[in-house]
Structure 1
Amino acid sequence: MDVIEAMRTTGTCRYYRDDPVPDDVLYAAFDAARFAPQGGNRQPVRWIAVRDQALKTALAERYLRLWREEFAPTGPSAPVADRHSKALTPSRDHAEHFADAPVILVLCARESALKVTDSNLGRTSVVGGASIYPTMQNLCLALRSVGVATTVTTMLCREEPAVRELLGIPDEYLTAAYVCAGYPARPFPARLRRRPVEEFVYLDRFGDPLYE
């Protein structure tokens, strides 16, 4: 598959077939993903492929509780949920069937290996993610190229201490995301809706459009 087509059609899959993702398919995707850029080539990323049903269920119980806290009538996203209740259905379905994903890939990173240059700016630090998330995106694209769909979520990162104990993650590693992966029960999207380039690319100064 052409890489541009993969980028334009990867999307988020919330409905999976029961078929397992073979070891060799995962291996090839991980093998491609590892060439993503990262600060100082420190290679902080580690993955845990969770297939055990009991472990998936334990993760799913925590995920569903967090999802309900977020989108329940009194949750912080309640107004959004109310306005977009129909659009929220796939997200709810995914939360309720989180354990049904053939494999849940837990993205971990060794904190001491992250090149963090924005920790003293008085805002949320994000730069360390530059050594983590390109690898994740490479993985999603590599899987998409062979017909495997993915869903990325960070909601479970709020449960890091419990997940660390559940999966035996050492203290020096943080959890950065969870990637559900499997063969999609529905077709891949033919077209994803995103802002046009004209709205978010500027020339020289923020707000001055490069493209009219």
Structure 2
Amino acid sequence: MELVEAMRTTGTCRYYSDEPVPDEVLHRAFDAARFGPQGGNRQPVRWIVVRDPEVRRQLAALYLPHWEGYYQAVLDGVRSVGAVPKTVESANDFAHHLAEVPVLIVVCADLEGLHPTDAELDRLSVVGGASIYPTVQNLCLALRDQGVGSAVTTLLCHDEIKVKELLGIPDGFITAAHVAVGYPAKGFPTKLSRSPVEDSVSLDNFDTPLFG
């Protein structure tokens, strides 16, 4: 698959078939993902592939209460998600069927391999993720190249302590995301909805558009 096509059609897959994902497909995806950019080539990311139905059920049971609180806030108008109702409803269906997704991948990161240069600023620290999430996106693109869908979620990070206990994740490692993986039941999107380039690119200062 051509790279830009993969980038423009790797949407969040929320409906999966029950077809198993072979080891060789996952191996090719992980093999490509590991070349994601990361500070100092520290390679902090570790993956846990969860296929066991009971473990998937337990992860889904931890996930659902967090989703339901979020979903209710959307319904009550307390939280604005900027998503069309159809998208929110598909996410709700996804949450209630998470245990049925063939593969759940828990993304872990070695704290010693992260270098969050914004940790002392008076705001949310995000820089540490720069050595994690490009690798995760590489994984999703490499899966898409093989006709496999994915959905990245961070809701389960609320329950990191329980997830670490369930999966035997050692001290010094964090959970950074969870990726649902499987063959899509409804195919891939032909067009993803995103804001135009003109709305997000500036020249020399924040208020001067580069394009348009």
TM exceeding 0.5: yes
Contact 1:39 1:131 (8 Å CA) reproduced: yes
Segments of 5+ residues of structure 2 without an aligned counterpart are none
**C-alpha distance in structure 1 between counterparts of 2:12 and 2:75, whole Å:** 20
TM-score normalized with structure 1 length: 0.95
Matched, 1:201 2:208: no
Correspondence for 1:28: 28
Q: How many residues align?
A: 209
**C-alpha distance in structure 2 between counterparts of 1:180 and 1:191, whole Å:** 21
Correspondence for 1:125: 125
Give the superposition deviation at 1:70: 1.4
Give the superposition deviation at 1:78: 3.2
Matched, 1:57 2:57: yes
TM-score normalized with structure 2 length: 0.95
**C-alpha distance in structure 1 between counterparts of 2:95 and 2:109, whole Å:** 24
Contact 1:151 1:181 (8 Å CA) reproduced: yes
Letter in 1 for 2:111: E
Letter in 2 for 1:175: T
Correspondence for 2:162: 162
**C-alpha distance in structure 2 between counterparts of 1:78 and 1:19, whole Å:** 37
Give the superposition deviation at 1:116: 1.2
Structure 1 segments, 4+ long, off by >4 Å, are: 83-86
Contact 2:71 2:92 (8 Å CA) reproduced: no
Correspondence for 2:182: 182
Deviations 1:112-141 (A, max 9, x none): 110110011110001100000010000000
Correspondence for 1:102: 102
Correspondence for 1:113: 113
Contact 1:50 1:105 (8 Å CA) reproduced: yes
**C-alpha distance in structure 2 between counterparts of 1:103 and 1:40, whole Å:** 31
Letter in 2 for 1:78: D
Correspondence for 1:191: 191
**C-alpha distance in structure 1 between counterparts of 2:4 and 2:141, whole Å:** 10
Correspondence for 2:76: 78
**C-alpha distance in structure 1 between counterparts of 2:116 and 2:164, whole Å:** 22
Correspondence for 2:172: 172
State the identity as a percent: 56
Contact 1:149 1:183 (8 Å CA) reproduced: yes
Deviations 1:118-174 (A, max 9, x none): 011110001100000010000000000010000000000000000000000011100
**C-alpha RMSD of the superposition:** 1.4
Letter in 2 for 1:37: P
Segments of 5+ residues of structure 1 without an aligned counterpart are none
Give the SS at the match of 1:152: strand
Contact 1:40 1:115 (8 Å CA) reproduced: no
Correspondence for 1:152: 152
Letter in 1 for 2:6: A
Give the SS at the match of 1:25: helix
Contact 1:118 1:126 (8 Å CA) reproduced: yes
